[in-house]
Structure 1
């Protein structure tokens, strides 16, 4: 089984890119950037490029600001341990930046995200390992690559945002942060999803024998914007 998770607002309770932009962009970025993104006019890579282009703080400075707000959602390490024991493939897919994802994820957790360099301003780019054609969605592309690389057929997506929706609806099972944009979009379109507040609930749901791609998930019983 291949389990994919968003980072900001999903693994972390707080959206760290939102926090950076709230602190350092001198305009209403939600109005300027999210309205066109929500209408399909601004791809995720352009959204991140435009937002971070106006952030003039280095990674060191930003990490100092983020640390008090970067707590992981309860139960996340429990899910990692469960995946390791069961042989499930776990991978984080994010539109965030590697300097903070790498800092706050437990060591060794696999992730894919946009690249970025800082030279007085942040310059965000698509990683060479995930080539995108016109109109391609980054998270869908990573999903397809991981399915091909691992041979896993059953897929689970965990997320919270509008930008999670295209990849989530291609997976066999969706867990959406309760009350989030992803939760609302799934409800609107009749996409089956399981709302959650903690990763412990996800373990319990898998333990309950949920069907994934026609096969019963292995039991966990007894086991210890968003971008």
Structure 2
């Protein structure tokens, strides 16, 4: 099994990029940037590029800002332990930046995200390992690359945001933070998902599902390949 999880607002309870932008952008970025993103006028990459281009503080200062907000959602260590015990592949996929994801994830947790360098302003790019063509979704590209590399066919997505939706729909099973944008979108479109508040709930659902007889369907679960 291949399990992908978003980082901001999913593994962390707070969205850390939101914290950075709230502190350092001098305009209403929710109105200006999220409106363009929601309408499809800018991609997630362009959203991050524009927002971080106006952040003029280095990583050390931003990490000091973020530490009080960077608590991990309860049960995350339990999920990592379950994946290790079961031999499942766990990978974090994020539109965030490596300077804070690397800082707050448990050591050794695999992740893919946008790259960034700071030269007085943050410059956000796509990592060399991920080839992103016109119209490609970054998280779907990571998903496809990991499926090819690991040979895993069964896929799970865990997330909370609107930008998680394309990758979530490409997976066999979806967990959405309860009441989140992803939860709302799945409900709106009839995409089966399991809402959760803690990773302990995710662990219980995955562990139970892994023990079912081969070919037995879980209530509310999509058949593999749908989406």
Report the TM-score range of the alignment, normalised by the length of the smaller protein.
Answer: over 0.9
Question: Contact (CA 8 Å) 1:210, 1:216: kept in 2 or not?
Answer: no
* Rounded Cα–Cα distance in structure 2 between residues aligned with 1:27 and 1:188: 31
* Rounded Cα–Cα distance in structure 1 between residues aligned with 2:120 and 2:72: 29
Partner of 2:224: none
Partner of 1:132: 132
* Rounded Cα–Cα distance in structure 2 between residues aligned with 1:80 and 1:118: 31
User: For residues 185 and 211 of structure 1, do their structure 2 counterparts lie closer, same or farther at Cα, with a shift above 3 Å needed?
Assistant: farther
The alpha-carbon deviation at position 216 of structure 1 amounts to: 6.4
Q: Deviations over 1:129-174 (max 9, x none)?
A: 1011101000000000000000000000000000000000010000
* Rounded Cα–Cα distance in structure 2 between residues aligned with 1:131 and 1:52: 22
SS, match of residue 106 in structure 1:
coil
Structure 2 residue runs without a partner (length 5+) = 218-227
The alpha-carbon deviation at position 206 of structure 1 amounts to: 1.4
Residues 1:202 and 2:202 are matched in the alignment: yes
SS, match of residue 13 in structure 1:
coil
* Rounded Cα–Cα distance in structure 1 between residues aligned with 2:136 and 2:211: 29
- Normalised to the residue count of structure 2, the TM-score between the two structures is 0.93
* Rounded Cα–Cα distance in structure 2 between residues aligned with 1:210 and 1:169: 21
Partner of 1:171: 171
Q: How does 1:96-115 map to 2 (within 5 A)?
A: 96-115=96-115
The alpha-carbon deviation at position 11 of structure 1 amounts to: 0.1
Partner of 1:14: 14
User: For residues 82 and 57 of structure 1, do their structure 2 counterparts lie closer, same or farther at Cα, with a shift above 3 Å needed?
Assistant: same
User: For residues 138 and 211 of structure 1, do their structure 2 counterparts lie closer, same or farther at Cα, with a shift above 3 Å needed?
Assistant: farther
Taking CA–CA contacts closer than 8 Å with sequence separation of 6 or more, which of the two structures ends up with the larger relative contact order? 1
Partner of 1:221: none
Root-mean-square deviation over aligned CA pairs = 1.5
Q: Deviations over 1:105-137 (max 9, x none)?
A: 000000000000001000000001101110100
SS, match of residue 47 in structure 1:
helix
* Rounded Cα–Cα distance in structure 1 between residues aligned with 2:216 and 2:7: 27
The alpha-carbon deviation at position 211 of structure 1 amounts to: 9.1
SS, match of residue 41 in structure 1:
coil
* Rounded Cα–Cα distance in structure 2 between residues aligned with 1:215 and 1:100: 41
* Rounded Cα–Cα distance in structure 2 between residues aligned with 1:159 and 1:203: 15
Structure 1 residue runs without a partner (length 5+) = 218-227
The alpha-carbon deviation at position 184 of structure 1 amounts to: 0.3
Partner of 1:52: 52
Q: Deviations over 1:24-68 (max 9, x none)?
A: 000000010001101111100000000000000100000001001
Residues 1:77 and 2:87 are matched in the alignment: no
User: For residues 142 and 211 of structure 1, do their structure 2 counterparts lie closer, same or farther at Cα, with a shift above 3 Å needed?
Assistant: farther
